[in-house]
Amino acid sequence: MSVIAIISDSDGSGKTATASALKIQFEKAGLELNLIKLHSLTENSEVENEIYTNLQPQSKEPTSIAIDSSPIKKTDIQNLKSIVKKTTARNNILAIEIASSLNNGLDTIVTELDAKILIVSEHTSDMPNLSLRKLTNNFSDKIIGIIINKQLRYRKNELNEKVLPQLLQNDVNCLGIIPENKSLMAISLIELAKYLEAKLVTDIEPTDKLIDYFLVGGMGLDPGKSYFATRNQKAAVIRGDRPDLQMAALETDPECLILTNGIDPIEYVKYEAEEKNIPVYVVEKSTQEIMSLLNNVHTTVNFNHAQKIDVFTDSFSKYVNIEPISKIIN
């Protein structure tokens, strides 16, 4: 068997992360895994394409392929078969991440490519939902197993007592349960500045550091420095006319300052920030408007960050048993 189809019952379940971690684990075992994202013509796969290209810079095959899903055309299947043939000729294994939008055509893809299936499913309160049950029922004889991602912290007992027994009834083996990790939802500084339409006012080159927390200055009675020191990997959101809070935040080494109301920092704040190599951004919106935007910042976050790949791969190696995958391949 040379083809693994990585599928899920919904978008955002962690297929790209799983494929990336699986490739890294296989390479440690001396096996070469080629990655491809298969998606519909209407979808954008730039993120996955960049991740897979970075993970396999020497690959001559495409890292993403768009196909028509209604119905799947014979020419697309022939193209995929050609890639499989080239991959197996090099004694490599091909892992195809298949977008959820193509689930209606899964039977054709899996049958034509003689692929085995690895399911990645996000842990939800209604698990196993109808779409997941449909996948496990339709492909039970081809499923290697399921990986449950983003395990909800306070619903582990329910998962063990309700979900896993139901999966076993369908002969679906759970290969691992990966706990939810908030750091994977962090946004990079560059992404944040773009999202907020922020203007950089310090002479500092922006970095790709991750932001885990947003602290708003002036929202409590605690001294500024004590408040801002409560979190690391943070962005401090402060009114542009509060240099006292801006200086307090700078003493706690934030990843950046975001000054609201379109007010530039005074020269002393700017000087201190540049001395500490901390970028300062100015936004036209008010503090309240910025915090409202930040409430939805998770919708813009993606997996394409070296630190996130390392974090997930570490969790994957800790919580997922890849031996059943290796046995089938070998």
Summarised one tens digit per residue, pLDDT across range 134-154 is: 777 778 789 999 999 999 888
Query: Residue 330 pLDDT more than 70?
Result: no
Mean pLDDT of the chain: 89
With bands split at pLDDT 50, 70 and 90, how would you rate the model's confidence at 219?
A: low
Percent of the chain past pLDDT 70, that is, above it, reads 97
Token pair, residue 249, equals 């935040």
Residues 156 and 199 occupy one common structural domain: no
Query: Residue 200 pLDDT more than 80?
Result: yes
Helix (H, G, I), strand (E, B) or coil at 322: coil
Tell how strand 187-188 and strand 210-211 pair up: antiparallel
Summarised one tens digit per residue, pLDDT across range 167-182 is: 888 888 999 999 999 8
pLDDT of residue 287: 95
Query: How crowded is the C-beta side of 8, counted as CA atoms within 13 Å?
Result: 23
Residues 98 and 143 occupy one common structural domain: yes
Q: Distance between CA atoms of 60 and 49, rounded to whole angstroms?
A: 13
Q: Distance between CA atoms of 190 and 17, rounded to whole angstroms?
A: 21
Q: Distance between CA atoms of 97 and 99, rounded to whole angstroms?
A: 7
| CATH code of the domain in which 40 resides | 3.40.50.300
Which residue(s) pair with 257 in the sheet?
236, 280
Residues 173 and 76 occupy one common structural domain: yes
pLDDT of residue 222: 61
Helix (H, G, I), strand (E, B) or coil at 199: strand
With bands split at pLDDT 50, 70 and 90, how would you rate the model's confidence at 71?
A: confident
**How many domains, the chain?**
2
Residues 75 and 120 occupy one common structural domain: yes
Q: Distance between CA atoms of 35 and 22, rounded to whole angstroms?
A: 10
pLDDT of residue 220: 57
Average of pLDDT values for 243-264? 96
